[in-house]
Chains A and B, each alone.
Chain A
Amino acid sequence: MSAAAATAEPRPGAGTPPPRTTAARRRMLGLDRDAWFLLLPALIPVLVLSVGPLLYGISLAFTDAQSGVTRSTSFTGLTNFADLRLDSLFWDSFRIGLIWAVCVTALQLLLALGLALLLDQNLRFRWLARTLALVPWAMPEVVVGIMWRLVYNPDAGVLNNTLRHLHLTSGHTDWLSSLSLALPAVIVVGVWAGMPQTTVVLLAGLQNVPLELHEAAGIDGAGAWRRFTTVTWPTLKPVVLSITALNFIWNFNSFGLVFVLTSGGPGGKTRLPTLFAYEEAFRYGQFGYAAAMGLVMVAVIAVLLTVFLRNRLKEADQ
């Protein structure tokens, strides 16, 4: 539209009435200057502390930068990536990160979808569930971690205690220190912490499902499942896609929860790539190498998301 106004500008007589063109021109010039003026306060910090560092960080991945070293860093090309390729510890952690992100995202989606569908019904105690579903969202990550440490505590924890009373186990499981149970235990916490957001978003999506269509399908004799697949799901699908993609990114990049719960232990079984890179950077001071890890993580996320979204969008087109 602005382009059309600009081309109309030199010859005000043709087509458009003159007064409007002058006004539009004056307005356009003024607006442009004002717009920049308005954007500037946000633009400067963003450029200096977000875009700048990001580009700097990407360039660091190709250097041997270290913390606290006085000698100047030098460009090393792809050395970091070549090292990384052979670093089995990193790939172990990467695999754990993927398992964590996929499991948490999938479970979050399933549980949140169920809860959202329930909350969309006219049930009693819905308000309680709604309120409770928001609480994990409101809690600081660190507190969520601490809380679940109390739950998982082998001696004083409520989980072992309950299992003991139900005679399901001997009740002395050390959840967060067991090699096989630590990752599932941590995943449960991830699901608990991330479910509220997903639920709220899905609940919002459900409001868009046309009620008439639902009723019509019901009158036609469609059961609950049929109504869900034919009426609810098509409307909800775009919302599900976007929240799943976002959840995956957030989960893959999450740090605080697992840091507080296990700090990556036992034996690195819950060491997410973010924790790995954090240790590499701030415990061992290998800034360049850690930046390379970060870059690999971004690249993999980008590829996975592209594949995921493209497939889904294709499905949606058909």
Chain B
Amino acid sequence: MSAAVPASQQAAPQPVPRPQPRPARRGLRRRAGRTGQYAALLCYLVFLAFPLLWLVSTAFKSPRELGSVDPTWLPRHPTLGNFRTALDEQPLLHAALNSLLVAGAAALISVAVAVPAAYAMVRFRGAVSRAGTGWILVSQMFPLVLVIIPLFMVLKNLHLIDSRPGLVVVYVVWTLPFVLWMLQSYVKAVPVSLEEAAAIDGCGRLRTLRSVVLPLLAPGLVATLMFAFVTAWNEFFFALVLLKTPEKQTMSVILTHFTGAEGAADLGPLAAASLLATIPSLAFFALLQKRLVGGMLSGAVKG
């Protein structure tokens, strides 16, 4: 601000010829800068997009074309054969159902458990809420390997190894830190004055939570729910360790079974199955892209 003042003062009293060449040069430089920027953007676009395009293209190629020495970007004869093969060969639909059940249950339970806790952590700042925040941070630091071994032993004693409910329980705990963190930022956005008004009208704590806070949280709840769902749907490590029976395995584990067979002809179904597995999370991000980025933005502003 202090810099803007002298510049404008100088411009007024002495109209020297200096300003004239300056915009021209600046314009040239700016145009060169712009070109550079677009070139850089293009590089990024290529880097980000080419594996994706290749995946899509592979999914629609016939086995014959995949075996050819000179693969092309666009499939010469696009087919849906790979999708059919993928669905026939491996119990892909069954795995998708497993993923759906496990991720859905985990997301619901996780959010249900986290809403009151997030509310308590935001509204009653104290030792407990500090410990909670600390745990959210620390839980990010530990390698899953260190957690999975004792978890495996605990679940074994509870007879929850190789069972979908066992995996649900693990996912609830595993998604909880982030769900709590997300919900806290939504709770913070609910004005306290509304709750005070409800209290004056004679609402108890829980009644306030149910009929004032929850409705206001609804959009945030949906976003958090979907986030938890996608996180659980995409998860691989726990599912790999905890589920052994193929009929119980989730999508991400079943997909790695495809990679076992190496022939070029199998690449098509593999790509097709991968695309199918990505649909839920892509749909989620497409729906929530703005909000998600916005949420990160507001979080950063507060931080």
**Contact between A34 and B149, CB atoms less than 8 A apart:** no
**Contact between A38 and B119, CB atoms less than 8 A apart:** yes
232-263 of chain B: CB within 8 A of chain A: 233-234, 236-237, 240-241, 251-252, 255-256, 258-259
Instruction: Using known A-B contacts A158-B50, A216-B1, determine if residue A135 contacts B285 with beta carbons closer than 8 Å.
Output: yes
B48 to chain A, nearest CB (A): 4
B151 to chain A, nearest CB (A): 5
B145 adjacent to chain A (CB < 8 Å): yes
Q: How far is A193 from B149 in the complex, measured between Cα atoms in Å?
A: 27
Q: How far is A215 from B2 in the complex, measured between Cα atoms in Å?
A: 11
Q: How far is A13 from B166 in the complex, measured between Cα atoms in Å?
A: 57
Instruction: Using known A-B contacts A125-B41, A256-B236, determine if residue A293 contacts B145 with beta carbons closer than 8 Å.
Output: yes
179-235 of chain B: CB within 8 A of chain A: 180, 205-206, 209, 230, 233-234
Which one of A81-89, A142-150, A309-317 is at the interface?
A142-150
Q: Give 1 or 0 for each of B17-28: 1 = CB within 8 Å of chain A CB.
A: 000000000000
Contacts of B281 on A, CB cut-off 8 Å?
Answer: 138-140
Looking at B37, B41, B284, the one whose CB has the most chain A CB atoms below 10 A away is B41
Contacts of B149 on A, CB cut-off 8 Å?
Answer: 57, 60, 281, 287, 290-291, 294
Q: How many chain B residues touch the partner (CB < 8 A)? A: 99
Q: Give 1 or 0 for each of B111-151: 1 = CB within 8 Å of chain A CB.
A: 01110110111011010100010010001111111111111
Looking at B48, B234, B240, B271, the one whose CB has the most chain A CB atoms below 10 A away is B48
Chain B residues engaging chain A, CB cutoff 8 angstroms: 1-4, 7, 33, 37-38, 40-41, 44-45, 47-52, 54-55, 58, 66-67, 69-71, 73, 112-114, 116-117, 119-121, 123-124, 126, 128, 132, 135, 139-154, 169-170, 172-173, 176, 180, 205-206, 209, 230, 233-234, 236-237, 240-241, 251-252, 255-256, 258-259, 264, 267, 270-271, 274, 277-278, 281-282, 284-285, 289, 292-293, 296-297, 299-301, 303
User: Can you list 9 A-B contacts with CB-CB less than 8 angstroms, sorted by A residue number?
Assistant: A45-B172, A50-B173, A130-B289, A142-B255, A146-B259, A155-B264, A204-B293, A208-B301, A290-B145
Q: How far is A136 from B299 in the complex, measured between Cα atoms in Å?
A: 22
Contacts of A291 on B, CB cut-off 8 Å?
Answer: 146, 149-150
B158 to chain A, nearest CB (A): 10
Instruction: Using known A-B contacts A42-B113, A298-B143, determine if residue A150 contacts B58 with beta carbons closer than 8 Å.
Output: yes
Which one of A4-12, A115-123, A178-186 is at the interface?
A115-123
* The residue from A138, A142, A295 contacting B282, defined by CB atoms under 8 A apart: A138
A15 to chain B, nearest CB (A): 23
* The residue from B4, B128, B234 contacting A216, defined by CB atoms under 8 A apart: B4
A136 to chain B, nearest CB (A): 7
Q: How far is A42 from B173 in the complex, measured between Cα atoms in Å?
A: 9
A78 adjacent to chain B (CB < 8 Å): no
**Contact between A42 and B146, CB atoms less than 8 A apart:** no
A151 adjacent to chain B (CB < 8 Å): yes
Residue on B nearest A43 in the bound complex, by CB: B117
**Contact between B206 and A294, CB atoms less than 8 A apart:** no
Q: How far is A239 from B252 in the complex, measured between Cα atoms in Å?
A: 32
**Contact between A128 and B267, CB atoms less than 8 A apart:** no
Q: Give 1 or 0 for each of A30-51: 1 = CB within 8 Å of chain B CB.
A: 1110111111011101101111
Knowing that A138-B230, A153-B264, A216-B2 are A-B contacts, what are 4 other residue pairs whose CB atoms are under 8 Å apart, sorted by A's residue number?
A2-B126, A51-B135, A115-B44, A151-B54
Q: How far is A215 from B145 in the complex, measured between Cα atoms in Å?
A: 50
How many residue pairs, one in A and one in B, have C-beta atoms under 8 Å apart? Answer: 291
Looking at A48, A56, A135, A146, the one whose CB has the most chain B CB atoms below 10 A away is A146
Instruction: Using known A-B contacts A34-B206, A158-B71, A302-B141, determine if residue A150 contacts B236 with beta carbons closer than 8 Å.
Output: no
**Contact between B52 and A41, CB atoms less than 8 A apart:** no
Residue on B nearest A188 in the bound complex, by CB: B47
Contacts of A48 on B, CB cut-off 8 Å?
Answer: 154
* The residue from A60, A140, A153, A301 contacting B234, defined by CB atoms under 8 A apart: A140
Contacts of A215 on B, CB cut-off 8 Å?
Answer: 4
Q: How far is A264 from B239 in the complex, measured between Cα atoms in Å?
A: 19
A133 adjacent to chain B (CB < 8 Å): yes
A94 adjacent to chain B (CB < 8 Å): no
Residue on A nearest B69 in the bound complex, by CB: A155
Contacts of A246 on B, CB cut-off 8 Å?
Answer: 140
**Contact between A274 and B7, CB atoms less than 8 A apart:** no
Q: Give 1 or 0 for each of A228-268: 1 = CB within 8 Å of chain B CB.
A: 00000000000100100010011011011001100000000
**Contact between A133 and B116, CB atoms less than 8 A apart:** no
Contacts of B255 on A, CB cut-off 8 Å?
Answer: 140, 142-143, 146
**Contact between A200 and B296, CB atoms less than 8 A apart:** yes
Residue on B nearest A27 in the bound complex, by CB: B199
Contacts of A118 on B, CB cut-off 8 Å?
Answer: 37, 40-41, 44
Instruction: Using known A-B contacts A45-B172, A60-B150, A135-B48, determine if residue A39 contacts B117 with beta carbons closer than 8 Å.
Output: yes
**Contact between A294 and B300, CB atoms less than 8 A apart:** no
**Contact between B300 and A205, CB atoms less than 8 A apart:** yes
**Contact between A129 and B119, CB atoms less than 8 A apart:** no
**Contact between A53 and B150, CB atoms less than 8 A apart:** yes
